[in-house]
C-alpha cells in the first residue's frame, strides 16, 4: 500500500510542471482548440448513421477530411512540443552546407570560368608537396591560368 502511494506521489510530482504549463500557456490551449475543431469537422462530416463501408470510402477519398486530419495532427504535435518545451531544430549547419554546395557547383560549372577552375583545383589536389618541393610538379608557381 505504501509503495503504491509513493508511485502516485512520484507520478503527480512528475506531471505537475506539465499541468502548470498547460494551464498557463495560451498557445498550447489554442493548439488544442484547433485540433479539437478539426476533429469535430471530421466527425460531423462522417455523421449520418451510414454503414462502415460508406464511411471508410469517404475517409479514403474526401480531400477535406484529409486536410482536417493533417491539421489535427499538426496542432496536436505543436501542443505536445509546447507542453514538453521542445525547441524546433534550427538546421543552421544544413543550410550552410547547402549554400556552400550551391556556390561550389556554380563556380565549377560556370561556362566562363568552370574549366580553368576545375583544372586549378585538380592541380592543387593532386600536387604532392614533399619536403623541399615548392610549387607544382610542372615547375610553375601554381597561379591560375585560363585554358582555351
Q: What percent of the chain has pLDDT over 70?
A: 80
pLDDT for position 137? 46
Q: What percent of the chain has pLDDT over 90?
A: 0
Question: Per-residue pLDDT for 17 more than 50?
Answer: yes
Q: How confident is the model at residue 129 (pLDDT cuts 50, 70, 90)?
A: low
Q: How confident is the model at residue 144 (pLDDT cuts 50, 70, 90)?
A: low
Label residues 37-53 b or e (16+ Cβ within 10 Å = b). ebbebbeeeeeeeeeee
Q: How confident is the model at residue 1 (pLDDT cuts 50, 70, 90)?
A: low
pLDDT for position 148? 44
Residue-wise pLDDT for 30-86, tens only, equals 888 888 888 888 887 777 666 777 777 777 888 888 888 888 899 888 888 877 776
CA dihedral over 15, 18, 23, 28, signed as positive or negative: negative
Question: Roughly how many angstroms between the first and final C-alpha of the chain, as a whole number?
Answer: 89
CA-CA-CA-CA dihedral for 120, 124, 125, 127, to nearest 10: 130
Tell me which of 136 and 42 has the higher pLDDT: 42
pLDDT for position 49? 61
Where residue 128 falls (left for φ over 0; alpha for ψ -120 to 50; beta otherwise) is beta
Determine the average pLDDT of the residues in 93-114: 83
Q: Which three cell numbers stand for residue 32?
A: 488544442
Q: Which three cell numbers stand for residue 136?
A: 607544382
Give CA–CA dist 54/9, Å, rounded: 48
Give CA–CA dist 30/22, Å, rounded: 11
pLDDT for position 2? 73
With beta carbons less than 8 A apart as the criterion, state whether 142 and 125 touch. Answer: no
Q: Which three cell numbers stand for residue 28?
A: 498550447
Determine the average pLDDT of the residues in 21-34: 84
Amino acid at each position: 500500500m505504501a509503495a503504491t502511494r509513493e508511485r502516485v506521489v512520484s507520478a503527480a510530482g512528475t506531471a505537475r510542471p506539465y499541468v502548470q504549463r498547460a494551464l498557463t500557456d495560451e498557445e498550447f490551449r489554442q493548439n488544442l482548440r484547433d485540433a479539437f475543431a478539426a476533429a469535430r469537422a471530421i466527425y460531423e462530416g462522417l455523421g449520418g448513421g451510414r454503414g462502415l463501408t460508406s464511411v471508410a470510402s469517404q475517409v479514403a477519398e474526401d480531400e477535406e477530411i484529409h486536410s482536417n486530419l493533417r491539421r489535427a495532427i499538426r496542432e496536436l504535435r505543436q501542443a505536445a512540443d509546447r507542453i514538453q518545451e521542445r525547441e524546433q531544430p534550427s538546421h543552421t549547419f544544413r543550410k550552410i552546407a547547402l549554400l556552400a554546395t550551391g556556390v561550389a557547383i556554380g563556380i565549377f560549372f560556370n561556362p566562363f570560368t568552370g574549366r580553368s577552375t576545375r583544372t586549378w583545383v585538380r592541380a592543387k589536389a593532386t600536387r604532392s608537396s614533399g619536403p623541399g618541393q615548392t610549387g607544382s610538379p610542372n615547375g610553375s608557381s601554381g597561379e591560375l591560368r585560363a585554358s582555351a
